[in-house]
Amino acid sequence: MHSCLGQNPGSADVELFTADELRDIERYLRVFRKSRVSEKVVGTLMTICILSRYYFGSSFRPFLSFLHQLCLGESEEKNSISLERYLAFIFYEVPFPDLRLPNVVIDLDGHYWRLQAPHEKNFASSTAISEPFASLLSILGTELCLQLLVQLLTEKKILRTSIQPDLLAHIAQALISIIYALRWVLVYIPSIHIRCIHVI
């Protein structure tokens, strides 16, 4: 790989990158698109966004941390398999647990993960937790939800007001869940009378 990354294979030119620089490039970018721009290799940075109608909560965060450490970390366990390949394997090749197959065990290079369908007694609570996504769409509508999401991701200032404080809390919790693992810093303004709203 070093021979084709550092120089033009058809010529005997001196390498454009040293061996240390190539190792750094491979470490940080991981995936290369071998397109020639002035005889240089262009690396591509990617962002992966995972949305789900179900709430993963505390189970999903350690799983993402494990994948990050396995693919991009500094530990000795780091291997050459890309993060995209792991995610493609999990999403397209691993069956989702259901009533016929409630437990699915995944082997990720000697690390075993178990996917489990929720028990019926906990299903109602998990549905209640995942309901804000559907209720957010029904309360605000698709267009307003998308506008709020864009404003959150582009770090614009958002002012939400309502005569129903519980509704505001419900919407804020749903928006925070949607943009996980990003964080939204909330500034709370105490309830004020609707006639005084112009002072804000």
Is 190 part of any domain? no
Residue at which a domain ends, from 87, 116, 145: 116
Residue at which a domain ends, from 116, 140, 165: 116
* 172 within 8 A of 139, measured Cβ to Cβ: no
- Is the domain of 143 the same as that of 97? no
Is 169 part of any domain? yes
Range of the domain at 62: 57-116
> What b/e sequence results for 185-199 when a residue is b if at least 16 CB atoms lie within 10 Å of its CB, and e otherwise?
eeeeeeeeeeeeeee
Is 188 part of any domain? no
List per-residue pLDDT tens for the chain, 200 residues long: 433 433 444 444 445 677 777 776 666 555 444 444 555 555 566 677 776 655 666 677 777 788 878 777 766 655 677 777 888 888 888 887 776 777 888 887 777 888 876 655 444 344 444 555 666 777 777 788 888 888 887 877 777 777 677 777 777 777 777 776 667 776 566 666 667 766 66
- Indicate the pTM of the whole model: 0.38
What is the spatial distance between Cα 182 and Cα 179, in angstroms, rounded to a whole number? 5
- Percent of the chain residues topping a pLDDT of 70: 52
Model pLDDT for residues 59-68, shown as the tens digit of each residue: 777 777 888 7
* 173 within 8 A of 136, measured Cβ to Cβ: no
In the block, residue with structure tokens 């209720």: 135
The strand ranges marked E within 44-158 are: 103-108, 111-116
Is 48 part of any domain? no
What is the spatial distance between Cα 13 and Cα 2, in angstroms, rounded to a whole number? 14
136, with CB counted inside 10 A (0-12, 13-18, 19+), is buried
pLDDT value, residue 7: 41
pLDDT value, residue 101: 78
